[in-house]
């Protein structure tokens, strides 16, 4: 076996597969797949966004987190800046968000992928960009799940003529199964391949971004791009049952909260429960509720790094919440959870393990896209400054250079120090519940990965218990009788995340892409 890879689209996965076939390691494959995702999954992520990765390097005997999420730009808000509201239609609900040049945070993806390639890869960046460049030139097919996203984000993709031309043809939106090419993006990816990361920090692409920002009401400055720094961090490590789990810490809010949820879940004997029986669903719901209640402590913690983690996940704090969980499950009253603003849904993830046991989990996002194309480049940008949940004090209030926070949390499961599972998810707060359930399904219920990813999920938040299609009406009614407000879904739905994972099963690696989000997996022999 040369490796296994799972991601959000078959075309994304094929790029990583190509690199594994050519002798690349897990990092090489992951980088090629991420660049390919900017073409194949362009309504979920783009090169102008940010990301987080967990990398395990066998030669260095080390796992570390690479934080290349977005920064607050240093330009000052002004009356004529391009920052405006659009409304997306999700069917049963509408969602307001902000786009435009002044919604763009300083991107970190190119810097992050370049650092990964230099420090953990075996192939030059120029080689790793080849699949993405070819896909942009020759065209990629839109998947049904991405067509679904494109439809309710149409106000963004209609906002400027340039982005409209990229995604609409003759007045009609790009449809599932149809091919679309991105020739200008291909040109600039080729330029990136020649110049390296310098192109995005100070070179030709950086100059195009700066010219576009200056001409059209943006806030990113020359210093913002030139001075951006990738951070290398220690992962959060916790025990769960007989395994070890690794998560990113800040700027990932998700990592600490998922770790907390697992420690609560560990106090309950799930093996004695029927999977997705009423008692199992109640346990998951109350773990999610208590995690949401604890979240303000994590968010408000002034310390950073391991000190924040130690205070939030210390034995006393965990024990108090474990006791509260078990009291609720015995019939006690539950506390009221706070309500949090909705985070970015449009996120994708790639998991890779190679033949030597090197592993990479990388999650990226550009929010919903800022609704424009950088002049002459084919490059779209993020709208992370237009995401209300990332700016609780108000838009454009963060200090210049501040790293924004994210719920993204690539996750690794180790046993006796060796990787057993790598996974991650998109889906705002639901990515936490998706990762929690996928891992628990494997560890507590001994499910094969395919079943663990695709069995129905639940999510609890904002006082409502969401039950994915496939959970029986009998159980839904029983939960309502216990006092839960239940929302029933007819089928599996991308609302519940997109968990793309690889795992070791019976001494063989398997790869599963979550069909909720058009995912794919591939084992490369």
- Residues with Cβ within 8 Å of 263's Cβ and at least 6 positions away in sequence, in order, are 238, 240, 313, 318, 322
- Alpha carbon distance 236, 308 (integer Å): 10
For residues 68 and 112, the answer to whether their CB atoms sit within 8 Å is yes
Cα distances from 144 to residues 9, 149, 516, in angstroms, run 11, 9, 10
At residue 245, the 3 state secondary structure works out as strand
Q: DSSP per residue over 464-493, as a string? A: EEEE-TTS-HHHHHHHHHTT-EEEE-SS--
CA-to-CA dists, residue 525 to 58, 123, 127, angstroms? 20, 20, 21
Q: What is the CB neighbour count within 10 angstroms for residue 246?
A: 25
- Nearest one of 508, 399, 421, 99 to 241, comparing CA atoms: 421
The Cα 175–Cα 156 span in angstroms is: 16
Catalytic pick from 221, 253, 291, 347? Answer: 347
Residue with tokens 């695709």: 454
Residue 525's CB is within 10 A of a number of other CB atoms, namely: 7
Of 175, 174, 177, which Cα lies nearest the Cα of 166?
Answer: 174
In three-state secondary structure terms, 439 is: helix
How many helical (H) and strand (E) elements, i.e. helices and strands, does the chain have? 19, 22
For residue 251, cis peptide bond before it (omega within 30 degrees of 0): yes
For 396-407, b/e burial (b = at least 16 CB within 10 A) is bebeeeebbbbb
Question: For 460, phi and psi rounded to 5 degrees?
Answer: -120, 130
3-state secondary structure at position 501: strand
Q: What distance in Å separates the CA atoms of residue 33 and residue 41, rounded to the nearest whole number? A: 11
Is the distance from CB of 176 to CB of 147 less than 8 angstroms? Answer: yes
Q: Give CA–CA dist 216/101, Å, rounded.
A: 7
**Structure token digits, residue 423:** 């996974």
Q: Is 364 a catalytic residue?
A: no
Catalytic residue numbers?
Answer: 347
């Amino acid at each position: 076996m040369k490796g296994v890879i799972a991601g959000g689209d078959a075309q994304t996965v094929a790029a990583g597969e190509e690199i594994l076939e050519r002798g690349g390691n897990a990092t090489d494959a992951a980088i090629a797949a991420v660049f390919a995702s900017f073409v194949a999954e362009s309504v979920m992520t783009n090169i102008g966004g940010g990301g987080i990765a967990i990398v395990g390097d066998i030669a260095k005997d080390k796992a570390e987190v690479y934080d290349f999420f977005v920064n607050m730009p240093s330009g000052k808000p002004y009356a004529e800046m391009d920052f405006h509201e659009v409304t997306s239609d999700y069917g049963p609900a509408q969602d307001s968000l902000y786009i435009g040049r002044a919604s763009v945070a300083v991107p970190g993806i190119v810097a992050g992928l370049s650092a990964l390639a230099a420090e953990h890869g075996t192939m030059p960046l120029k080689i790793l960009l080849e699949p993405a460049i070819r896909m942009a030139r020759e065209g990629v097919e839109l998947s049904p799940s991405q067509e679904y996203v494109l439809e309710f984000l149409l106000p963004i993709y209609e906002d400027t003529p340039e982005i409209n031309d990229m995604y609409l043809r003759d007045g009609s939106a790009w449809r599932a199964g149809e091919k679309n090419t991105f020739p200008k993006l291909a040109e600039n990816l080729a330029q990136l391949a020649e110049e390296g990361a310098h192109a995005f920090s100070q070179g030709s692409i950086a100059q195009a971004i700066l010219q576009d920002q200056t001409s059209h009401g943006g806030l990113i400055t020359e210093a913002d791009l030139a001075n951006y720094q990738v951070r290398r961090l220690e992962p959060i490590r916790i025990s769960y049952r007989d395994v070890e789990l690794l998560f990113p810490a800040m700027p990932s809010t998700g990592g600490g909260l998922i770790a907390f949820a697992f420690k609560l879940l560990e106090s309950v004997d799930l093996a004695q429960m029927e999977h997705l029986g009423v008692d199992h669903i109640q346990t998951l719901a109350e773990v999610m509720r208590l995690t949401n209640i604890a979240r303000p402590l994590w968010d408000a913690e002034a310390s950073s790094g391991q000190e924040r983690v130690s205070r939030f996940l210390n034995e006393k704090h965990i024990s108090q919440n474990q006791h509260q969980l078990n009291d609720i499950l015995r019939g006690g009253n539950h506390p009221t959870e706070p309500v949090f603003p909705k985070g970015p849904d449009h996120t994708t993830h790639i998991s890779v393990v190679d033949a030597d046991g090197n592993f990479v989990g990388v999650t990226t996002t550009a929010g919903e896209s800022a609704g424009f194309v950088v002049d002459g480049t084919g490059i779209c940008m993020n709208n992370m400054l237009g995401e209300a949940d990332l700016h609780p004090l108000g838009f454009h209030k963060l200090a210049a250079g501040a790293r924004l926070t994210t719920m993204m949390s690539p996750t690794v499961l180790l046993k006796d120090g060796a990787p057993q599972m790598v996974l991650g998810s998109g889906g705002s707060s639901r990515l936490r519940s998706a990762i929690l359930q996928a891992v628990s399904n494997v560890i507590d219920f001994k499910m094969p990965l395919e079943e663990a990813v695709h069995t129905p999920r639940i999510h609890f938040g904002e006082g409502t218990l969401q039950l994915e299609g496939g959970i029986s009406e009998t159980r839904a009614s029983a939960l309502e009788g216990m006092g839960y407000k239940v929302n029933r879904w007819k089928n599996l739905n991308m609302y519940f995340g997109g968990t793309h994972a690889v795992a070791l099963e019976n001494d063989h690696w398997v790869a599963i892409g979550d069909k909720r989000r058009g995912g794919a997996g591939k084992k490369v022999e």
